[in-house]
Amino acid sequence: MLRRENVLITGYSDPFNDRLSAGRGLVDPVRNCLHRKGWLNDGIVVLGLPRGGVMVAAPIAEALEVPLDFVVTRKLRSQNQNDLVIGAVTERGRVFLNKPVIDALSISNEAIQAEIEQEKEEIRRSVAAYRSVLPANDLAGKTVVIVDDNVVTGSTMFATLRGVWAERPNNIVLAVPVAPRGTIMALSEFADFVIALKAPADNFTSMKDYYTRYDPLEEEDVVSVLNTFVANSLDRA
């Protein structure tokens, strides 16, 4: 276990069976963090990043008996070099650009705007399917737990954190099953607390080394998890 002022790496050793089991593994560390910080009564919302992050977030929200929500963030890529990330755009339309990369490649404003509009359309399409099941929560004044199934470089998560902070929550906790240690430490500058079950210090390898099952997910899989959460919430009410 590694603990810094606002970072907890539990050192979980076994592979996760799947994303749902990874979420169940995060329940106690998240609950303990909220208890120690005195945030349990603040009004908590658990936000998952579709698609995999929603699968991990659902068991956490269910165990804590708090609202589940999601936040969609899409990477912006160079049209000439698709593997090169030049920024990100959030569900609520906030755009974050990597100016040094854009300037180095002399990417035109027209190309950037075209990429932004394309990714906004993808966001609208995804959000329409998910919001038909789960309405958006007001995050202002809340403690928000942001969850994904993994983080590698952190570019999408950096944009997500900045976008969520713009919604004026009181606190943000970032909780992930696995991420490189360096990325965790960098992200800790943008969250009140960061929790990871695994944080390898050496080269980050395939997700198959950390999950027994890490199947590709479709939108229908996310909608199914949201429907199950809503039904279970109604049963508890």
pLDDT digits (tens, 9 = 90+) for 117-159: 999 999 998 899 899 999 899 999 999 999 999 998 888 899 8
* Cβ atoms of residues 98 and 87 within 8 Å: yes
List, by residue range, all CATH 3.40.50.2020 domains of the chain. Answer: 2-72+135-236
pLDDT classification of 12: cutoffs 50, 70, 90 = confident
The C-alpha atoms of residue 101 and residue 87 are separated, in whole angstroms, by: 9
Q: Look at residue 161 in the predicted model and tell me its pLDDT.
A: 94
How far is CA 235 from its chain centroid? 27
Rounded to 5°, the CA angle 212-29-178 comes to 35
Q: Look at residue 3 in the predicted model and tell me its pLDDT.
A: 59
Reading the block at residue 187, the tokens are: 């992200």
Q: Look at residue 126 in the predicted model and tell me its pLDDT.
A: 86
* Helix or strand (DSSP H, E) at 28: helix 19-37
153 Rama sector, left if φ>0, alpha if ψ -120 to 50, beta otherwise: alpha
pLDDT above 90 for 235: no
The 3-state DSSP class for residue 30 equals: helix
Which long-range contacts link 78-81 to residues 24+ away (Cβ below 8 Å)?
78/105, 78/107, 79/111, 79/114, 79/115, 80/105, 81/105
CATH class of the region 2-72+135-236: alpha beta
List, by residue range, all CATH 3.30.1310 domains of the chain. Answer: 74-130
Residue in the block written with tokens 């210090």: 201
What CA–CA distances, in Å, run from 118 to 79, 80, 122, 123, 230?
11, 15, 7, 9, 31
pLDDT digits (tens, 9 = 90+) for 66-123: 999 999 998 898 887 877 888 889 887 888 888 888 988 889 999 999 999 999 999 9
CATH class of the region 74-130: alpha beta
Q: How many CA atoms lie within 13 A of 29 on its CB side?
A: 28
Q: How many CA atoms lie within 13 A of 182 on its CB side?
A: 7
The stretch 203-225 carries a mean pLDDT of 89
